């Protein structure tokens, strides 16, 4: 989610806003303009050749060093993030660990070298009717990457988050457009990255950091001809706007925008019968965690009418009415949430199952659970739109066929979840082929809100959950977004990159004449 | 290159046109309309689940069977292609071999299984503070793919060409929009694919074939919501039009358009000194082969002024004036070629080095070699546009710095070539980092017009040589264009696809907890 922070009185600086009070009470930060964008992109382009030529160990150590510098900031980082995001200490300490762990993961990925995609097809000088040339392939980085941080993960998806870590791992300099909802947090992390750049003896342009409250800055950044790709996590409107800008450039560039998802959860009949009440309670835990401000928040629940569903609803209602109000990330996010919830509550075919506690402070969300019949849901496209925050819509289906119709009609999703018991297996077998075409991650008997940073994770999915469903923004596969293949034909060894010399792979996997070695 | 064949008198059929005579003298073919597009896409969508569920051996045998059916057509296929394309028998027999070889390559790729991208991160139920789930990842096919055949490779890049072979290998049904310049050739090949579909017991919708002379058909195909990706080889105008259509859909889809490239060849000073004359002769051979109708035709030559360059020019002139005129693929291509060459010849800063023999028949190209100084080339963007056919522009540079400026200013390319001797190595070392950011394939001491179908081949490159520089349309890596990752979290074995069962990889490579096994 993005929104626009209020402009400070002085046009050349803006202030950090406290999430809890809505007041611009924090430090002042520079409002960067076109000259700053130009300088950052020029420095990134200038640094590109030297940075992409670094060996695996140098690049891996650099990533680890960023993590060490972030850890060295200590509690002031957590305090800044708490003040700016309204998120609690434990969550932010966990997120800091995740951010550092993510940098370490990519350091390991860089060292392991599979991302290089090395291939050698040996020459066949005597082949008839024509000789086969010597062909050697590697992946090269795209060039400087623009990263737009997310408001909802001020550490793990922002300045030194997954996009930055994977782009740097790929050999791309990064220019971050800091999220205006957490400029103090962003500046602390940017300082850590700059310190790591200096300590690693890398050119300064490997990392740039631009700040400002408006959208002009991001527009100028995406339009700069030296930017080769964009990473973004936020709203659908923001992501689509960047995509349009990138496509309209004289040289279009890839945009990896992770935008919106309502993450359907299917409650299977036998599971509902056996543990409908427990599922209702657990569901509300997932729904309300972090004020529901997760890309993978379960905003859509599908179930077939019956007694089990009634138990689920009763337990969910009981849990939800006691759910405390929580401060949302920004006033803008809170306003959008309130509007989305109100439009569900006032829909004449939508039933309000329960609302959470009413908050006292500014920008506090009151959780909501709603229900609608499948026919209405299928007929009203707007009911399928994301309400970012702790809001979910239960779709009551008559039977399995109707439930599958709802799933097929849904937009692309980051996740899709099945809650099932062993006796549901047959029916679930029919669901998996539908869900795997609709989402990047399919879960059984869990909740989608935990996203493991791992090798087999996909945090991505068909449009509009992301702008490019062929990728992931979490996990080691994310590095592939910033690479492209180059083939070298009959190059003498002196001209070949070291990793394509005979025996020069340094442990990286090689496909030799089509066989892995 | 695409162009629009003349509409036949009867609106529901059109005729095959002989390249040599320009006459619509061949068989009649259906002009398909919106209802045909709808039927083909519906059948493809219907076939998708069954086709993507085929095991590796079934799918590999199907691809091989297509090759066998193409071979079984025998000489009538070569004769149809000769008549429709004007290309000579030897070239088309070679191209048929390449087409069948390509299908066999993808059959091997399907069996080897690296394309599945299998990853398993094992569960850690006791991890603190939270357990790690079981995560398993595989690549799944995108869905039905629309393929637009190329006029210049009526076999290897058309109905059963590289796009079709790689999409089918990935598990995607294919709907081909046959090129109107070779409908008879296309229909023979489509029949071979249909026979292979039937013989393999696959649903008919795995392959669809639409014919017609206009652009409406392709527009309707790309806009159909069931189409999930597009493969295209042709002109920049055609590719960009499809890209725009695909981006404007409610659900945008990837377009892999291979569009235009002038394939710079750098003649290094020592090589010119040692063998300028031999290089000139060999260059003309590459330039005029197949009437210059290759995507990788060397349309731009860069060299530093000097005696060696004079020898090159003299030899090239001598070879070129004797170059026989050759029939081009279509009247439209010939007209565009003539216009492009004339605009070079009439440019007041461009010198005509030589023209080839004047043709007698219709649509015969007269080869052309031109020269211009680097400053003019840098100032006039239009001089860098592709002239499809046997036309090339030599850019005379004062020194290495100017030569590098020209390369940096060039658009994205499919290939970049260095002709060098050992004494050029130092200077060539400075060129490679520039060329590898500009092109998908870098060659030394060869000519770009041969494109090996192999594992380490890249036939792709930065925009506008293609619409997506992260891929290749030739070679085994092309299969990746039609796949996306899906992660499965805590699925019971009964719900997992077979290749993600413990030990179920059937020889396909697996990344287990981040380590290749």
Do A215 and A315 fall within a single domain? no
> What is the tens place of the pLDDT at every residue in B108-154?
999 999 999 999 999 999 998 889 999 999 999 999 999 999 999 99
Among the ranges given (A259-268, B193-202, B309-318, B356-365), the one the predictor scored with the smallest mean pLDDT = B356-365
- Residue B463 phi/psi, 5-degree rounding, is -55, 140
How confident is the model at residue A11, as a pLDDT? 66
The total domain count for chain B is: 2
Name the residue of chain B whose CA is nearest to A422's CA: B492
How confident is the model at residue A3, as a pLDDT? 38
Strand partners, A171: none
How confident is the model at residue A7, as a pLDDT? 40
- Torsion of the alpha carbons at A159, A298, A5 and A161, rounded to the nearest 10: 0
Q: How many CA atoms within 13 Å lie on the side-chain side of A365?
A: 36
- Kindly state the percentage of chain A with pLDDT values over 90: 95
Residue A463 in this model has a pLDDT that exceeds 70: yes
Residues A374-395 have a mean pLDDT of 96
Do B246 and B309 fall within a single domain? no
Q: How many CA atoms within 13 Å lie on the side-chain side of A347?
A: 20
Do B50 and B164 fall within a single domain? yes
Contact residues, chain B, for A121 at CB < 8 Å? 452, 454-457
Interface test with B, best of A113, A425, A469, A485 (most B CBs within 10 A): A485
> What is the tens place of the pLDDT at every residue in B488-505?
999 999 999 999 999 999
Do B174 and B213 fall within a single domain? yes
Residues A341-351 have a mean pLDDT of 97
Residue B374 in this model has a pLDDT that exceeds 80: yes
Contact residues, chain A, for B488 at CB < 8 Å? 436, 441-443
Q: How far apart are CA B273 and CA B246, in angstroms?
A: 50
> What is the tens place of the pLDDT at every residue in A185-204?
999 999 999 999 999 999 99
Provide the domain limits for residue B255: 33-259+469-482
Give the distance from residue A487's alpha carbon to the nearest chain B alpha carbon, in angstroms.
5
B408 located within any domain: yes
B413 located within any domain: yes
Do B39 and B167 fall within a single domain? yes
> What is the tens place of the pLDDT at every residue in A42-95?
999 999 999 999 999 999 999 999 999 999 999 999 999 999 999 999 999 999
Q: Are B477 and A143 an interchain contact pair (Cβ–Cβ within 8 Å)?
A: no
Taken in order B424, B429, B431, B437, the sign of the CA dihedral is: positive
Q: How far apart are CA A329 and CA A366, in angstroms?
A: 14
Give the distance from residue B7's alpha carbon to the nearest chain A alpha carbon, in angstroms.
34
How confident is the model at residue B9, as a pLDDT? 43
Residue among B114, B121, B440 whose CB faces A455 most closely:
B121
Q: Are B443 and A136 an interchain contact pair (Cβ–Cβ within 8 Å)?
A: no
How confident is the model at residue B334, as a pLDDT? 95
Q: How far apart are CA A202 and CA A208, in angstroms?
A: 13
Q: Identify whether the C-beta of residue B327 lies closer than 8 Å to the C-beta of residue B364.
A: yes
What ipTM does this complex have?
0.96
Strand partners, B230: B146, B255
Do A283 and A366 fall within a single domain? yes
Contact residues, chain A, for B491 at CB < 8 Å? 432, 442-444
Q: CA triplet B247, B232, A136: central angle to 5 degrees?
A: 110
- Kindly state the percentage of chain B with pLDDT values over 90: 95
How confident is the model at residue B214, as a pLDDT? 87
> What is the tens place of the pLDDT at every residue in A499-515?
999 999 999 999 999 99
Q: Are B470 and A485 an interchain contact pair (Cβ–Cβ within 8 Å)?
A: yes
> What is the tens place of the pLDDT at every residue in B405-433?
999 999 999 999 999 999 999 999 999 99
Residue among B425, B470, B484 whose CB faces A469 most closely:
B484
What string of H, E and C letters represents the secondary structure of B7-65? CCCCCCEEECCCCCCCCCCCCEEECCCHHHHHHHHHHHHHHHHHHHCCCHHHHHHHHHH
Q: Are B456 and A112 an interchain contact pair (Cβ–Cβ within 8 Å)?
A: no
Residues B17-32 have a mean pLDDT of 91
Give the distance from residue B509's alpha carbon to the nearest chain A alpha carbon, in angstroms.
8
Q: Are A485 and B491 an interchain contact pair (Cβ–Cβ within 8 Å)?
A: no
How confident is the model at residue B3, as a pLDDT? 38
Give the distance from residue A407's alpha carbon to the nearest chain B alpha carbon, in angstroms.
16
User: What is the CATH classification number for the domain harbouring B376?
Assistant: 3.40.309.10
Do B246 and B386 fall within a single domain? no
B67 located within any domain: yes
> What is the tens place of the pLDDT at every residue in A330-340?
999 999 999 99
Contact residues, chain B, for A469 at CB < 8 Å? 142, 484
What is the token pair recorded at A182?
């957490």
Q: How far apart are CA A255 and CA A464, in angstroms?
A: 13
Contact residues, chain B, for A446 at CB < 8 Å? 133, 489-490
Q: Sorting pLDDT into bands at 50, 70 and 90, what band is B361?
A: confident
A488 located within any domain: no
Q: How far apart are CA A460 and CA A472, in angstroms?
A: 5
Q: Are A121 and B456 an interchain contact pair (Cβ–Cβ within 8 Å)?
A: yes
How confident is the model at residue B11, as a pLDDT? 67
Residue ranges of alpha helices (H) inside B231-330 are 236-248, 269-288, 307-321
What is the token pair recorded at A434?
């539908």
Residue A10 in this model has a pLDDT that exceeds 60: no
Q: Identify whether the C-beta of residue B173 lies closer than 8 Å to the C-beta of residue B145.
A: yes
Q: How far apart are CA B476 and CA A485, in angstroms?
A: 12
Phi-psi region of B483 (alpha: psi -120 to 50; beta: other; left: phi over 0): beta
Residue among B136, B458, B490 whose CB faces A445 most closely:
B490
Mean pLDDT of chain A: 95
Contact residues, chain A, for B444 at CB < 8 Å? 489-492, 495
Do B98 and B149 fall within a single domain? yes
pTM for the whole structure: 0.96
Name the residue of chain B whose CA is nearest to A445's CA: B490
A11 located within any domain: no
How confident is the model at residue B359, as a pLDDT? 85
A499 located within any domain: no
How confident is the model at residue A2, as a pLDDT? 34
Do B277 and B237 fall within a single domain? no
Name the residue of chain A whose CA is nearest to B252's CA: A463
Give the distance from residue B328's alpha carbon to the nearest chain A alpha carbon, in angstroms.
25
Do B411 and B393 fall within a single domain? yes
Active-site residue, selected from the candidate residues A258, A386, A402, A411 = A258
User: What is the CATH classification number for the domain harbouring A180?
Assistant: 3.40.605.10
Q: Sorting pLDDT into bands at 50, 70 and 90, what band is B6?
A: very low
Contact residues, chain B, for A467 at CB < 8 Å? 252
B220 located within any domain: yes
Do B208 and B87 fall within a single domain? yes
Contact residues for B175 (Cβ-Cβ < 8 A; gap 6+): B40, B41, B44, B144, B145, B146, B147, B207, B208, B209, B210, B221, B227
Q: Identify whether the C-beta of residue B239 lies closer than 8 Å to the C-beta of residue B232.
A: yes
What is the token pair recorded at B308?
């060696």
B8 located within any domain: no
Residue A486 in this model has a pLDDT that exceeds 90: yes
Do B150 and B283 fall within a single domain? no
| Count of residues in chain A | 517
Residues A247-253 have a mean pLDDT of 97
Q: Identify whether the C-beta of residue B409 lies closer than 8 Å to the C-beta of residue B378.
A: yes
Residue among B132, B467, B489 whose CB faces A441 most closely:
B489
Interface test with B, best of A422, A424, A472, A489 (most B CBs within 10 A): A489
> What is the tens place of the pLDDT at every residue in B190-214?
999 999 999 999 999 999 999 999 8
Give the distance from residue A39's alpha carbon to the nearest chain B alpha carbon, in angstroms.
20
- Residue A200 phi/psi, 5-degree rounding, is -90, 0
């Amino acid at each position: 989610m993005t929104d626009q922070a209020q402009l400070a009185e002085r046009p050349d600086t803006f202030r950090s806003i406290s999430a809890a009070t809505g007041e611009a009470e924090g430090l002042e930060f520079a409002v960067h303009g076109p000259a700053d964008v130009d300088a950052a992109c020029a420095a990134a382009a200038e640094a590109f050749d030297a940075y992409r030529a670094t060996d695996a160990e140098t690049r891996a150590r650099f990533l680890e060093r960023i993590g060490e510098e972030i850890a060295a900031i200590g509690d002031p980082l957590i305090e800044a993030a708490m003040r700016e995001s309204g998120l609690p200490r434990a969550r932010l300490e966990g997120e800091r660990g995740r951010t550092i762990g993510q940098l370490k993961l990519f350091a390991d990925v860089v060292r392991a070298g599979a991302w290089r995609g090395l291939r050698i097809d040996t020459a066949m000088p005597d082949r008839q009717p024509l000789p086969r040339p010597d062909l050697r392939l590697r992946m090269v980085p795209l060039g400087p990457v623009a990263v737009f941080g997310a408001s909802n993960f001020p550490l793990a998806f922002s300045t030194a988050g997954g996009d930055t870590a994977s782009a740097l791992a790929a050999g791309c300099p990064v220019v971050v457009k800091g999220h205006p909802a957490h400029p103090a947090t962003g500046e602390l992390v940017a300082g850590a990255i700059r310190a790591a750049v200096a300590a690693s003896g890398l050119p300064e342009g490997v990392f740039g950091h631009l700040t400002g409250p408006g959208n002009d800055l991001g527009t100028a950044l995406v339009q700069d001809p030296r930017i080769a790709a964009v990473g973004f996590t936020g709203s659908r409107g923001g992501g689509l706007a960047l995509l349009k800008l990138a496509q309209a450039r004289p040289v279009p560039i890839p945009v990896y925008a992770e935008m919106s998802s309502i993450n359907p959860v299917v409650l299977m009949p036998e599971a509902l019968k056996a543990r409908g009440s427990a599922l209702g309670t657990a569901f509300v835990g997932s729904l309300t965690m972090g004020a529901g401000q997760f890309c993978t928040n379960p905003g859509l629940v599908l179930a077939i009418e019956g007694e089990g569903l009634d138990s689920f609803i009763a337990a969910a209602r009981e849990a939800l009415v006691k759910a405390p109000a929580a401060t949302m990330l920004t006033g803008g996010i809170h306003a959008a949430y309130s509007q989305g919830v109100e439009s569900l509550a006032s829909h004449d075919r939508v039933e309000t199952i329960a609302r959470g506690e009413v908050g006292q402070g500014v920008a506090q969300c009151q959780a909501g659970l709603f229900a609608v019949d499948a026919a209405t849901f299928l007929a009203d496209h707007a009911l399928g739109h994301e309400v970012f925050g702790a809001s979910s819509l239960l779709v009551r289906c008559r039977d399995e066929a109707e439930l599958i119709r709802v799933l097929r009609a849904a937009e692309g999703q980051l996740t899709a979840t099945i809650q099932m018991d062993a006796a549901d297996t047959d029916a679930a077998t029919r669901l998996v082929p539908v869900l795997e075409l609709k989402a990047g991650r399919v879960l059984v008997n869990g909740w989608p809100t935990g996203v493991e940073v791992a090798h087999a994770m996909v945090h991505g999915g068909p449009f509009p959950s992301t702008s490019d469903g062929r990728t992931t923004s979490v996990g080691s596969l994310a590095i592939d977004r910033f690479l492209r293949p180059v083939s070298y034909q009959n190059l003498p060894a002196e001209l070949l990159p070291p990793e394509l010399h005979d025996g020069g792979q340094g442990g990286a996997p090689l496909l030799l004449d089509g066989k892995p070695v």
